[in-house]
């Protein structure tokens, strides 16, 4: 696990470094840190190292804690032209675990090292039951295990006439996408022959002591009807996958801090889209006779033939008056208004 650390060169002779980490997951909490200091001057070198790590899981309940400290010094000298390094150090390491409470203590000196064991030895946590797993990590309402999300094509929402408190989503029948998702990993799917085949990666329920999914049954069943008639063939299906936390669906009863955080590409549902374009609407036929019917006052598109202009006067004024009189009089046109 990456740590938040520091490196500090105090002066030309002393350097210090250290780091801390903290993590909280659905099944455990872990924290720790370390500190180191080194003094170096010519042939003399001295060091100090200390650290602690703590991990506790609650479903199932277990804990482990380790602490260490090490102090030492060295001196490099030349004897009869041959370089030698003389070392002296003292260290201790304490590990506690449970339940049942037990641990080890190790003492390491320059000339001797020994380990003391106490308690019942390295314990193994007791697996939890399905009811405990369900109440701790899954929603209380079983209906909340499944969810429906409209990813594309939502036109509007209207209130249901039979149940005003509920809304009905109106979708674009040509371009919509609906995502059906389960909080549980899915091993098999049923409800339509159009659902593509898929592979499910290995998973388990580590907190229950189930290290593989061969004993787990998980089937995602979909049913789509239209006025009581099966309509599953009107949709295309794509298996929807998601990364699930190893803390919930891993294979180890006591996962370590180095375990992968997620199980990748686990099937959890389906994405639905239209299987084929909708049938285009048909324009209602109109009788041709209706379009050709004329009004009682005559067709507005049928005009009297205009007589050609005849020049009967030798003066321009008389011609203009005759032209204005001819343009301003049209009995058929006047009948329309």
Question: What pLDDT score was predicted for residue 327?
Answer: 67
Domains of the chain, by residue range, sit at: 4-119, 138-274
Q: Is the bond into 99 cis (omega within 30 degrees of 0)?
A: yes
Question: What pLDDT score was predicted for residue 1?
Answer: 59
Model pLDDT for residues 182-228, shown as the tens digit of each residue: 999 999 999 888 888 988 888 888 888 888 878 888 899 999 888 88
pLDDT, average across residues 126-137: 86
Question: What pLDDT score was predicted for residue 78?
Answer: 78
Tell me: pLDDT of 48 over 90: yes
Q: What SS3 class is residue 217?
A: coil
Model pLDDT for residues 299-326, shown as the tens digit of each residue: 555 666 666 656 565 567 777 777 777 6
Question: What pLDDT score was predicted for residue 294?
Answer: 59
229 contacts 220 by C-beta, under 8 angstroms: no
303 backbone φψ class: left, alpha, beta (φ>0; ψ -120 to 50): beta
* H and E: helices and strands count for the chain: 5, 18
- Nearest of 135, 262, 124 to residue 203 by alpha carbon: 262
DSSP collapsed to 3 states, 103-138:
EEEEEEECCCEEEEEEECCCCCCCCCCHHHHHHHHC
- Nearest of 137, 139, 134, 128 to residue 254 by alpha carbon: 128
- For residue 328, name the pLDDT band (cuts at 50, 70, 90): low
Question: What pLDDT score was predicted for residue 333?
Answer: 64
Model pLDDT for residues 49-97, shown as the tens digit of each residue: 999 999 888 778 888 899 999 999 988 887 777 788 888 889 999 999 8
Tell me: pLDDT of 20 over 90: yes
- Phi, psi (5° rounding) for residue 336? -75, -20
CB atoms within 10 A of CB 56: 14
Question: What pLDDT score was predicted for residue 258?
Answer: 67
Stronger pLDDT, 122 or 155, i.e. the higher one:
155
Tell me: pLDDT of 336 over 70: no
Q: Which residues contact 310 (CB under 8 A, 6 or more apart)?
A: none
- Neighbour-count burial of 237, counting CB atoms closer than 10 A to its CB (0-12 exposed, 13-18 middle, 19+ buried): buried
What is the chain's alpha carbon radius of gyration, rounded to the nearest angstrom? 43
Stronger pLDDT, 162 or 134, i.e. the higher one:
134
Tell me: pLDDT of 286 over 90: no
Stronger pLDDT, 228 or 16, i.e. the higher one:
16
- Neighbour-count burial of 204, counting CB atoms closer than 10 A to its CB (0-12 exposed, 13-18 middle, 19+ buried): buried
- Least confident among 142-151, 184-193, 204-213, 255-264: 255-264
Stronger pLDDT, 114 or 289, i.e. the higher one:
114
């Amino acid at each position: 696990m990456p740590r938040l650390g520091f490196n500090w060169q105090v002066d030309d002779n002393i350097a210090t470094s250290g780091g801390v980490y903290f993590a909280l997951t659905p099944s455990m909490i872990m924290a720790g840190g370390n500190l180191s200091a080194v003094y170096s001057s010519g042939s003399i070198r001295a060091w100090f190292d200390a650290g602690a790590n703590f991990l506790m899981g609650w479903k199932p309940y277990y804990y482990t804690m380790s602490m260490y400290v090490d102090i030492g010094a060295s001196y490099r000298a030349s004897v009869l032209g041959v370089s030698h390094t003389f070392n002296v150090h003292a260290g201790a390491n304490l590990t506690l675990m449970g339940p049942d409470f037990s641990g080890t203590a190790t003492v390491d000196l320059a000339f001797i090292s020994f380990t003391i064991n106490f308690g019942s030895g390295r314990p193994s946590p007791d697996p939890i039951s399905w009811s405990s797993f369900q109440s701790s990590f899954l929603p209380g309402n079983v209906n909340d295990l499944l969810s429906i999300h409209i990813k594309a094509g939502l036109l509007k929402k209207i209130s249901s006439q039979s149940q005003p408190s509920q809304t009905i989503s109106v979708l674009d029948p040509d371009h919509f996408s609906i995502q059906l998702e389960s909080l549980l990993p899915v091993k098999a799917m049923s409800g339509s022959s159009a659902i593509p085949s898929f592979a499910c990666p290995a998973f388990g329920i580590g907190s229950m002591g189930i290290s593989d999914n061969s004993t787990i049954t998980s089937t995602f069943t979909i049913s789509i009807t239209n006025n009581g008639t099966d309509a599953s063939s009107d949709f295309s299906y794509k298996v929807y996958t998601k990364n699930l936390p190893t803390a919930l669906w891993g294979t180890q009863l006591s996962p370590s801090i180095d375990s992968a955080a997620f199980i990748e590409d686990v099937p959890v549902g389906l994405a639905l889209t239209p299987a084929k374009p909708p049938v285009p609407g048909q324009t209602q036929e109109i009788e041709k006779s209706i379009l050709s019917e004329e009004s009682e006052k005559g067709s507005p598109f049928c005009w009297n033939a205009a007589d050609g202009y005849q020049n009967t006067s030798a003066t321009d004024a008389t011609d203009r008056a005759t032209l204005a009189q001819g343009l301003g009089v049209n009995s058929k046109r006047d009948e329309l208004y």
